[in-house]
Amino acid sequence: MLLEFRVSNFRSFAEEQILSLVPSPKQKEFPSNIIEQEKYQLLNAIAFYGANASGKSNLILAMSFLDKMVALSARTSSTTKLPYEPFLLQEGWTEKPTHFEITFIFSKNRYRYGFRYFENSIESEWLFRKTIGREVSLFQRKEDEIEVGKGFEGSPKKIDAAIEITRTNSLFLSTCDMLNVEEAKGIFKWFQEFHIVDGLNTEAREIQTVELWKIDTYQKKIKDFIISLNLGIKSLSITTEPFETNQLPEQLSDKDRKKLSNQLKDTTRYQVSTSHEKFDKTGALVGSIDFQLDEHESAGTQKSFHLSGPIVWVIENGGVLIVDEIEAKMHPIMTLFIIQYFLNPETNPKRAQLIFGTHDSNLLTYAQLRRDQIYFVEKNKTSASEIYSLSDFIYQSPMNATPEKKPDLDKEKRYLEGRYGAIPSLSFSWS
């Protein structure tokens, strides 16, 4: 379970920004949206709004960069450049490191892991664990010096070897996992439950859905999920066939055709088909007809299939699903359905978490989100992105300036009126 993410000096982010999934003690609405695990409380979803170019996608990209660096860092070469993209719109930030930190619950423990880095080197790295009482340092790194605490679980020989071979441009945690250090391997299992999806380009997730389809239990749940969206689809099927040269585009040159044929030899091709009811002229049901997903179905239907795999996997196993532009290509009712799928304890028994960026203001009215589950992203006067929660706002009575404890009755209306910021400021004039 994710508790918190911090980022600074990355793309449009300058000063440290914090995305917290810890419930605000002052918020009482929708108590079922709070997950209780061990002695911790967490929110099951976070939505964040902002104008185009406000930094919403950069927030998700920061989480993606952290995830990829942890997964791949120890397996890259000594000359590999780190993804250092500092804030460029104010002097001084190119001389500072990028900073990522993530706090999460795994195996009854709370972990806090983070690092700071430049293009060619890791400046610092740390891992803390909290079980009972205060946090315990598992390791702390300052450039090439790594100090490992006694509580870091694993073979001392392997840990010493990890210290010895960790390169200046690689993460110590990743090196420990590569050498099968016990606690590092456990933390990597948590990162396997961390899924990030670009809602505008979901095609890459189709492979994950197809792979899950091969497992009977997941196949049924994917099928049920798609049918529940009421897209007119009565069933799904996926067929595979060996690759054949005649499947290549006709416009390819002989050289390219030969090259691709060699590369694709002994591979299989899959085809996703949807089944729809077919009627006669009088409207009577006479059977069914199959369509190819990528040729006959709408972009929204295709996206629903692409997302079904990651959604079903996270719902079944618990974990975190992060989606940018969740509403893209889909009707607002479908978007709302997916969000409510996570918010409802009956459809989300493992209490998976959903974090999503959106422009769909309807969700402020119809999604059962608490005020501390709604975040905004906005540029400040130096064009740096800042994030803040709706729970930071105190409702002001229209009759006087005295703060009241009751929540806003119409979050969507107040957002579009600009009461919370994070909306476009437009101007237009004919020349």
Rounded-to-integer distance, Cα 158 and Cα 165, Å: 11
> What ranges do the domains of the chain cover?
1-193+319-424, 202-317
Take residue 161 and report the two structure tokens written for it.
Answer: 């070897």
- Measured CA distances, 403 to 25, 28, 58, 400 (Å): 18, 17, 34, 8
Torsion angle, alpha carbons of 273, 274, 275, 277, to 10: -140
- Measured CA distances, 174 to 71, 163, 165, 178 (Å): 7, 11, 11, 6
Rounded-to-integer distance, Cα 144 and Cα 166, Å: 8
Rounded-to-integer distance, Cα 264 and Cα 195, Å: 29
User: What is the predicted pLDDT for the residue at 37?
Assistant: 83
User: What is the predicted pLDDT for the residue at 245?
Assistant: 76
Per-residue pLDDT of the chain (431 residues; tens, 9 = 90+): 999 999 999 999 999 999 999 999 888 899 999 999 878 999 999 999 999 999 999 999 999 999 999 999 998 999 999 999 999 999 999 999 999 999 999 988 999 999 999 999 999 999 999 988 889 999 999 999 999 999 999 999 999 999 999 999 999 999 999 999 999 999 999 999 889 998 888 888 888 899 999 999 999 999 999 999 999 999 999 998 787 777 677 767 777 777 777 776 777 778 999 999 999 999 999 999 999 998 899 999 999 999 999 999 999 999 999 999 999 989 899 999 999 999 999 999 999 999 999 999 999 999 999 999 999 999 999 999 999 999 988 655 444 444 444 556 689 999 998 989 988 876 666 55
DSSP label at residue 10: B
Closest by Cα among 90, 136, 91, 139 to 115: 139
User: What is the predicted pLDDT for the residue at 405?
Assistant: 46
β-sheet bridge partners, residue 130: 110
Q: Are 62 and 196 in contact (CB under 8 A)?
A: no
User: What is the predicted pLDDT for the residue at 327?
Assistant: 93
User: What is the predicted pLDDT for the residue at 408?
Assistant: 60
Domain 1-193+319-424 has CATH 3.40.50: yes
Closest by Cα among 18, 40, 4 to 351: 40
Closest by Cα among 122, 156, 158 to 142: 122
β-sheet bridge partners, residue 292: 273
User: What is the predicted pLDDT for the residue at 410?
Assistant: 86
